[in-house]
Amino acid sequence: MPRPSLQLTAFKTMLQEENYVILDTETTGLKDAQICQIAIIDRHGSVLLNTYVKPTHPIPASATAIHNITNDMVQGAPVWSDVSPLLLPLLTGCDVIAFNAVFDRKMMHKSAEAVGLPKTDWKTLGRWWCAMLAFSEIYGVRDRQRAGFRYQSLQTAARHYGIRVNAAHTALDDCLTTLAVVKAIAAEKQTSDPTDRPHMNS
């Protein structure tokens, strides 16, 4: 079996410390988009934040078809300028796990831009780790288009570990599924010790 990368080894070591939070977002799209739901839980699965967010433009039908969040559902929700300050005490100085950390941070930045907030450098406030990169290495399918492993979905990770998914593509349920996945990763045998502590995001 190939030796795990330093990033994966460090990720597993961080999980053993059991002092992390998990974040997930649902958005109005994939590129020029905003957050319409965000959730954060702790390592026990306790909910620290779970809210819809009203974007500055309507949620397109293509996005609703994925996460079932409608414009009516976010009509009375707080806007990002109200939600963003709530994140600071929850993420600052923490190990923050997201299944696609780069995407979630990008959407946090896009949401701030849309409401005219100054940029918050979330990557420096907390230590971010990408569970998608960690699992993709464990799954082990090489990507022929680039160096590294082919990205795998949260649903694939759940199936791999026999985890039941109750409601895919809601922020809270995806947080809970990610928590179950990272606990399964943590339970796997640690094969080597890290020589440094890189973050699992690209």
The CA-atom distances, in angstroms, between 180 and each of 30, 34, 91, 197 are 25, 27, 20, 23
- Token digits of residue 167: 């409601």
Beta strands 20-27 and 47-52: pairing type? Answer: unpaired
**Which position has the token pair 């460090």?**
10
DSSP 74-118: HTTSPPHHHHHHHHHHHHTTSEEEETTHHHHHHHHHHHHHHTTPP
The helix/strand/coil state of 58 is: coil
The DSSP 8-state label assigned to residue 56 in this structure reads S
Enumerate the β-bridge partners of residue 51. 38
Residue-by-residue pLDDT tens, the chain, 202 positions: 568 899 999 999 999 998 899 999 999 998 889 999 999 999 999 999 999 999 999 999 999 999 999 999 999 999 999 999 999 999 999 999 999 999 999 999 999 999 999 999 999 999 999 999 999 999 999 998 878 899 999 999 999 999 988 766 799 999 999 999 999 999 987 544 443 445 556 5
* Rounded Cα gap, residues 101 and 80, in angstroms: 19
Number of CB atoms found within 10 A of residue 132's CB: 25
pLDDT, position 115: 97
CB 11 within 8 A of CB 129: yes
Residues contacting residue 162 through CB under 8 Å, at least 6 positions apart? none
Q: What is the pLDDT of residues 162-197, one digit of tens each?
A: 998 876 679 999 999 999 999 999 998 754 444 344
CB 12 within 8 A of CB 2: no
Asked whether the whole model's pTM tops 0.85, one would answer yes
Which candidate, 28, 200, 4, places its Cα nearest to that of 107?
28
